Amino acid sequence: MTRLVMKFGGTSMGDLERIRRAARIVAAEVKAGRKVAVVVSAMAGKTNELVAWTDGAGKPGAGVALSDDEYDVVVASGEQVTAGLLALTLRNLGLDARSWMGWQIPILTDDAHGRARIEDIPGAVLGAAVDSGQVAVVPGFQGVTRDGRITTLGRGGSDTSAVAVAAALECPCDIYTDVDGVYTTDPRIEQKARRLERVSYEEMLEMASLGAKVLQTRSVELAMAKQVPVRVLSSFIEPDENGNLPEKSGTLICEEDEIVEKRIVSGVTMSRDEARITLLGLPDRIETTARLFTLLAEANVNVDMIVQSRARTPETVNLTFTTGRRDASRAADLTRAAQGELGFEEVAVDEDVAKVSVIGVGMRSHAGVAQTMFQALADKGVKIQAISTSEIKISVLIDAAYAELAVRALHGAYGLEAA
């Protein structure tokens, strides 16, 4: 069995010339003997255009009806176009190819329109098609409910589609993108950032949720759950004159025990997608704090970090928590609406914050990782506003102005630039 799923994103499908380049890469894999399914995104910018139309068709001022089944009908069309165009292009390179819509395979999802989750992909028919030598071109992002309505998986869902198809076909997944792999940190911030040969599912999952843009978080969760080896590769390659690809580099996302090179810290990430909300003069009673976080949870506001500090009077505290920036004003409104009940004096929202994180499975067995982090930040005069940790990461909230400085300091402190 030499099946392979290849995924090309919106930039790689951006115009006919790029689609031809992707087709040449696919042809090289077929020439090398692989049985290939290709998962494609819509042309870059297309999904935004379609979303804007659904927005305009909605009630004035009501915004996009993301949960609407008809939103999905409109937005899923972008991937249908690129799937057909790639299949045509592959045929014109002499390959056997056809498109397989989400409803044809089918890619069965729940009915949470606009953010559906894949429930099942029967692999037998698609598997037989690729094993027969046909390149199966699958539109990413889209699925179908059990009663036959079109769904979409939410933005960036094509990565998840690709991993799910690979799981159904029981094969690895190569994700072609406009970067050539997963880096120790964002190379636009730290020129010394180094591409990782391999990274574990767990580390990649933390990196994706903490700001690394290279893969969608849900696709990594799925790859981890289904044990799908995922390789992130640059789509800016060309087969040679004999139609052979250069040896694959990029980054392989795999099990921890498949990684020979042991590191304590694998990467440093930065996210500006945070907001800090502070309640001044909150009564120092456990019931009050519990009530506040119940309110937020009921409104689906995810709270990340929480810090409590002394206030002006001994009976009150100042309470700081962070949420996604998108939820910040809603969280503040909810809190204000409950001011009588909670009894605080004032609420303040600060969006001028950044979350900087260090991630590595080696933290499990190595002490001193936090110490190195705090020392490196202190040396640069960066004040830590809040902290959160997991078994394999430490995140700190800092003033946004220091974010890049902090990333570079931590990248150096853990020696990530070394080969």
Q: Footprint of its own copies on this chain (CB under 8 A)?
A: 16, 19, 50, 53-54, 56-59, 62, 65, 68-74, 76-78, 80-81, 83-89, 91-92, 97-99, 101, 103-104, 148, 150
Structure tokens that stand for 348 in this block: 């303040």
Give min distance, CB of 44 to its own copies, in A. Answer: 14
- Interstrand relation of 3-8 and 35-40 (parallel, antiparallel or unpaired): parallel
Smaller CB separation from its own copies, 145 or 395 = 145
8 is in an annotated binding site: yes
Give min distance, CB of 142 to its own copies, in A. Answer: 11
Smaller CB separation from its own copies, 105 or 179 = 105
276 is in an annotated binding site: no
Contact (Cβ atoms closer than 8 angstroms) between residue 136 and residue 121:
no
Reference 249, options 160, 176, 151; nearest CA is 176
177 is in an annotated binding site: yes
Give min distance, CB of 14 to its own copies, in A. Answer: 12
Contact (Cβ atoms closer than 8 angstroms) between residue 104 and residue 67:
no
Smaller CB separation from its own copies, 17 or 298 = 17
Smaller CB separation from its own copies, 45 or 415 = 45
10 is in an annotated binding site: yes
Backbone dihedral angles phi then psi of residue 224, each to the nearest 5 degrees: -65, -45
Give min distance, CB of 244 to its own copies, in A. Answer: 23
Smaller CB separation from its own copies, 104 or 389 = 104
Q: How many CB atoms lie within 10 A of CB 376?
A: 19
Strands of the 393-399 sheet, one edge to the other: 267-271, 353-359, 393-399, 386-390
Smaller CB separation from its own copies, 87 or 265 = 87
Give min distance, CB of 26 to its own copies, in A. Answer: 14
Residue 102 CA to residue 108 CA, distance in Å, equals 8
Contact (Cβ atoms closer than 8 angstroms) between residue 231 and residue 177:
no
3-state secondary structure of 102: coil
Cα 281 → chain centroid = 37
Give min distance, CB of 175 to its own copies, in A. Answer: 23
355 is in an annotated binding site: no
188 is in an annotated binding site: yes
374 is in an annotated binding site: no
Q: How many CB atoms lie within 10 A of CB 73?
A: 16
3-state secondary structure of 87: helix
Give min distance, CB of 82 to its own copies, in A. Answer: 9
293 is in an annotated binding site: no
399 is in an annotated binding site: no
Burial classification of residue 11, based on how many CB atoms lie within 10 Å of its CB (0-12 exposed, 13-18 middle, 19 or more buried) = middle
Residues 10/14/19/24 CA torsion (nearest 10 deg):
-70
Backbone dihedral angles phi then psi of residue 286, each to the nearest 5 degrees: -60, -35
Smaller CB separation from its own copies, 92 or 294 = 92
Residues annotated in the binding site, as ranges? Answer: 7-10, 47, 79, 177-178, 183, 188, 213-214
Binding residues for ATP, as ranges, are 7-10, 177-178, 183, 188, 213-214
